[in-house]
Amino acid sequence: MLTLLAAVTIGIVRARDLISVVVLLGAYSFLMASVMIVLDAVDVAMTEAAVGAGVSTVLMLGALYLTKTEEAKPVHSVLLPLFAAGATAAILIWATAEMPLFGAADVPVVLAGPDYIARSVPETGIANVVTSVLASYRGFDTLGEVVVVFTAGIGVLALLKRSSSGGPDDNAKV
């Protein structure tokens, strides 16, 4: 599965036709959802499939309908972005070097679920455990996610509004 992810990533980077890029990004999202299912994170997998492959693909295809479908030729050298990507990869690899191996037998399993269930109602006063975790314990994280979705929606609305109005000259003709 990781080989497929790498192949799709290379296809995304190499493609110049933006419709192909959008289709490959949808395929990448489905592959990532499959990886999340293998890692027993079904909630994350469902979100990735719905938002990453579903909604994002539709919005990007809609944006491409309103704009050009061919990527513009780069005006600068690719060395600076290549250096930035390489430096980011090096930092991430360095940061994960001290982590235990995935699935190692000597790493203790810590289950936080029973602790959340026991402390949720007394600490937050919210009867639903899921709501208490999302609204109270992870409130800033949830707020950040809502801000991202709101910003994306405003961006799409701005694109659609700009293309449907046609500019100030259309009003002068009426």
Whether residue 71 contacts residue 45, with contact meaning beta carbons closer than 8 Å, is answered with no
Distance CA 160, CA 65 (A): 10
Distance CA 24, CA 18 (A): 10
pTM over 0.85: no
Query: For each of the chain's 174 residues, which pLDDT tens digit applies?
Result: 889 999 999 999 888 888 899 999 999 999 999 999 998 888 788 888 888 888 888 888 888 888 877 777 778 787 888 899 999 999 999 999 888 887 788 888 788 888 888 888 888 888 888 888 877 877 788 788 888 888 888 887 887 776 555 555 444 444
